[in-house]
Structure 1
């Protein structure tokens, strides 16, 4: 039993479209339907004369029997009822009762039991061998399989044709929805809907469910699924082709909602769509990366107001025609950029920062964006393999063109700290000072080099000179104020400062020297 039938997993993934009524139309007219209990899906036809075949049955089979299991018990209603009940509980779709060699008609007890258990009953005359019924079902299966292959091939060709459409992404989503008979959404890297197509019979996921699926898919290498009642929602991450962090960057999510259990053919079609969406992303960067990098570089180097047309193009390139403010961001991959093709980063960064204006600049990238630098964005960037530094925001008006070089300088000044701390930074959260531009570790190293002659002294002498020098610099060179601040006689202060100048071989009368020493002491005090 069951050796020649499809495996249970195969049946679950790809159910047949054959029903009992459809199959009966293919059978010889001599076969009689003695009890019609409604149409049933039919997965397989199996002959069995076992007393209890239920351990070997697949759901929704038609069982053909010669009646041998009931021979000698056909007039015992309880025995017959128990046999039929076992078949019904095993989800048999129909029972075919063959006449001869054991019976000349279907026993009344069998008919009554089938009626009681709502199991369709067929009477099969001796002129129709069981093998003929099995062959008829196999032929119907083969015809269905060929039809499914034709339908699948046409569906895949329809998706491929979307690449030549004026708006290929939108057409691809609409075609996929039509072919799957499902609701389809394409979300960007921030979870916002880029394209959407739905059918009346398929409820589109609500915002909360859509956000939940987006989060789950972003953290998954394969897909996320939510099933409730007859609704099945799937979400597939669209990932970058490079893996700079723990996961390849998520460029978006394809969300599909079914009002039924999806089949293997549905999954194959979705796989094709995911591949085509990746092709479209590659086409965008291949066709426009040079122009976008050139535009970004020119904008960041000019110091002239933007004319209305250029300002409108800038806003469109930022993904919004009503952008209130613009920032310059510098982006540093966590991995060595020299180990990868830099052009592969461009579509990922464009998606992550919601802008087309991204360009390579030496060992990092620069971008113009209206994306707000939030903790969530920083975490998303880091999980995708990047660190970013954001300048202060400036209004997206004509005067922006004059300010972009300054914004670039602000953002670029954050690079050393970003790389040392291995974290993204926002200029609005950092005090505006020259000292803030130097990473703590590098500042401390420079301070130790500058103050090395003092640091090499015995501990007591070293600490005294450092305290005197710090107090004197903080008092702007006032002997009296220094004496008061550090509780040391002013003559001692003068003598110690003169000695410190000699030890360091520096002229402490020069403002630049005092400035360097003050910064050095601040880094030394904050390891």
Structure 2
């Protein structure tokens, strides 16, 4: 059996819009057996019919015909006044119970006194014939107490459902950030809803499936065809002769412009409850969001990447039209005006050497995109790099540092200067890691030692000065002190001797011994520069 939201007389059962019960955010699912178990023990069940029936409400009524005021699945309470019409004959009792059965009343509570001392036998017989549960209510239990008990049970049940829905929504959101978001969303869906699920792309091919015995895409063909031909919010209903496919519902995934992006089809053995439909709606929304992101999301970064890959000279030597178009795409990718300068930002993690997680980089990318308000983020071996229009204020820096990261923030540049800006930022990265400080290119004092960083500088000192460092401490310290003083005074024997309170010949002897051990020429500028830099890291 197939169904559609369209009208028609083709012989198929045509569906109507979702009923109010299916779309309203009520999740009442208290059964008659649950309710009876909570009632005072003084109540006596004289006849039990369908105890698994869903109980909608508890309604006291002394009308001869209360059915115009009842909903399906109600528990009616009466003191027996309606049974006194026509002398309380068996025919009158039968007519009363028959009206309750037509209204689908699931239970009748009969209160003793003031009109009856016992439940009339005719009433018990009629309830058995019509499948209505009959309960005897003694005078010690007021009807109000029964109604209050139902309200409390209903509130408790709704709270459990809402907690379950909140947990399910949290799991669905986590699924979106997984390496395989489509598959994970479907897996979470079938864990929480008794159904199978199939996700189909706009091309009709299966993108993901989950659950036991999901229908084959060939079998889904007619349903998908109806879905893809329609427009706007809608569902398509069907039923297949296979276990777990008695109720099949197709949900379209559509773009902001109502373009078909695919469909989610779910099948179940029974009609889903309102709570389960709420979970399905959340999954449909997330899958639709993922589909939009893949196809009709922010197109600027992909257009920009394509243009620069095919025409790398665009920013440096392109025509004015090409440069203007590139700047427009940059502005859209950076969430800012085209005229604002941009900065390169690099981040390194200083709290944990193994910072890279095994999770998808999506979560990490979204984090940096949010903080720096940009879509241009690259995950790298050392951490990340981003291009942003922000000045990266202290609040942003504080947030990043709380996460265990340090930044190197570039100076403001135009698009064609980005490669050079990236090199300047990268040259300070080792220093940021070594000092565990966030650095700004435009406020750093530029020097060889500053750019080299503590780690690389210490390694250089260990290699260049190794022959001196291996000497006995007394001899080592003397030679290093004289070498440092001699280099500080640009190789002047007299100035070095005066500064160190040594004889001029002693300075010559120590410098000669040092350079002999180092196997270097004291007159070579490069050797002097290497030794001077190395000495800064001892």
Give the TM-score, by structure 1 length. 0.50
Tell me the residue number matched to 1:369: none
Among 136, 142, 160, the residue aligned to 1:147: 160
Tell me the residue number matched to 2:15: none
- Whether 1:198 and 2:211 are equivalent positions in the alignment is yes
Tell me the residue number matched to 1:236: 251
Tell me the residue number matched to 1:482: none
Tell me the residue number matched to 2:30: 18
Kindly indicate whether the alpha-carbon contact (under 8 Å) linking 1:85 and 1:117 is maintained by their aligned counterparts in 2: yes
Among 143, 150, 160, the residue aligned to 2:173: 160
SS at match of 1:265: helix
SS at match of 2:38: coil
Tell me the residue number matched to 1:448: none
Counterparts in 2 of 1:198-237, with a 5 A limit? 198-199=211-212, 204-218=214-228, 219-228=230-239, 231-237=246-252
Q: Distance in 2 between matches of 1:69 and 1:342?
A: 79
Query: For the structure 1 residues 343 and 145, does the alpha-carbon distance in structure 2 shift closer, same or farther, using more than 3 Å as the test?
Result: farther
Q: Distance in 1 between matches of 2:329 and 2:287?
A: 21
Query: For the structure 1 residues 69 and 19, does the alpha-carbon distance in structure 2 shift closer, same or farther, using more than 3 Å as the test?
Result: same
Deviation at 1:295, TM superposition (A): 9.3
Deviation at 1:298, TM superposition (A): 7.9
Counterparts in 2 of 1:32-431, with a 5 A limit? 32-39=44-51, 40-71=53-84, 73=86, 76-199=89-212, 204-218=214-228, 219-228=230-239, 231-241=246-256, 243=257, 248-281=258-291, 284=294, 289=302, 293=306, 297=310
1:272-323, Cα deviation, whole Å (9 max, x unpaired): 2233234434655669726972698489xxxxxxxxxxxxxxxxxxxxxxxx
1:479-501, Cα deviation, whole Å (9 max, x unpaired): xxxxxxxxxxxxxxxxxxxxxxx
Q: Distance in 2 between matches of 1:294 and 1:171?
A: 34
1:112-152, Cα deviation, whole Å (9 max, x unpaired): 21122222110001111101100000111111111111111
Kindly indicate whether the alpha-carbon contact (under 8 Å) linking 1:186 and 1:194 is maintained by their aligned counterparts in 2: yes
Deviation at 1:47, TM superposition (A): 0.5
Query: For the structure 1 residues 225 and 190, does the alpha-carbon distance in structure 2 shift closer, same or farther, using more than 3 Å as the test?
Result: same
1:456-509, Cα deviation, whole Å (9 max, x unpaired): xxxxxxxxxxxxxxxxxxxxxxxxxxxxxxxxxxxxxxxxxxxxxxxxxxxxxx
Deviation at 1:46, TM superposition (A): 0.4
Give ranges in structure 1 of 5+ residues lacking alignment. Answer: 1-7, 300-336, 345-527
Kindly indicate whether the alpha-carbon contact (under 8 Å) linking 1:74 and 1:107 is maintained by their aligned counterparts in 2: no
Note the aligned Cα RMSD (angstroms).
3.3
Query: For the structure 1 residues 272 and 142, does the alpha-carbon distance in structure 2 shift closer, same or farther, using more than 3 Å as the test?
Result: same
Deviation at 1:268, TM superposition (A): 3.1
Tell me the residue number matched to 1:463: none
Kindly indicate whether the alpha-carbon contact (under 8 Å) linking 1:59 and 1:92 is maintained by their aligned counterparts in 2: yes
Give the TM-score, by structure 2 length. 0.49
Give ranges in structure 2 of 5+ residues lacking alignment. Answer: 1-18, 313-324, 333-538
Count of paired positions: 291
1:187-228, Cα deviation, whole Å (9 max, x unpaired): 11111101001235xxx3344541222222222211232244
SS at match of 1:25: helix
Kindly indicate whether the alpha-carbon contact (under 8 Å) linking 2:261 and 2:292 is maintained by their aligned counterparts in 1: no
Q: Distance in 1 between matches of 2:96 and 2:331?
A: 70
